[in-house]
């Protein structure tokens, strides 16, 4: 069972979601780490930093998802697949920035706390949309 969770190709949604937790976690570390560095160390406005960091995280997520989670060939050609993946990511980016803006600017939460909340919601959106649009 452990081998199937980590190494074998699978179409099982539970196993894919389990793997997405690790891929998403690594992409989150890239995203969150860059957000902190760009905002606190380089003094870039938090929403611009969030956008740049999110895009970097999406690229990491795409590569790892293709290699480890959604190994089945997508229902579309590779260019359309990336386009759909990017479109889902752009919607996720919009949700991310909107949630961060609302929680930080309107509710006065620290921007990194806002990022945690945004990440949880966007995580569910990204997995569901990618799984059911691209790999049904």
pLDDT for 115: 96
List, for the chain, all residue ranges whose pLDDT scores fall below the cut of 70: 1, 72-76, 135-136
Write down the pTM of the prediction. 0.80
The pLDDT score that the predictor gives to residue 34 is: 98
Residue 73: its pLDDT value, please?
Answer: 65
Domain count, the chain: 1
State residue 136's pLDDT score.
Answer: 64
CA 110 to mean position of chain CA atoms:
21
Residues 6+ apart with CB under 8 A from 32: 53, 112, 115, 119
Could you tell me the end-to-end alpha-carbon distance of the chain, in angstroms, rounded to an integer? 24
Write out the residue range of the structural domain in which residue 45 sits. 2-134
């Amino acid at each position: 069972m452990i081998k199937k969770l980590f190494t074998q190709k699978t179409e099982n949604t539970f196993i894919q979601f389990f793997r997405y937790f690790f891929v998403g976690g690594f992409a989150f570390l890239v995203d969150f780490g860059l957000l902190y560095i760009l905002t606190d160390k380089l003094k870039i406005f938090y929403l611009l930093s969030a956008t740049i960091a999110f895009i970097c995280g999406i690229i990491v997520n795409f590569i790892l998802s293709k290699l480890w989670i959604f190994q089945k060939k997508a229902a579309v050609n590779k260019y359309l697949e990336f386009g759909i993946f990017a479109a889902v990511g752009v919607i996720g980016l919009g949700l991310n920035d909107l949630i961060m803006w609302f929680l930080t600017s309107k509710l006065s939460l620290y921007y990194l706390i806002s990022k945690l909340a945004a990440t949880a919601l966007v995580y569910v959106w990204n997995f569901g949309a990618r799984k059911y649009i691209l790999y049904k």
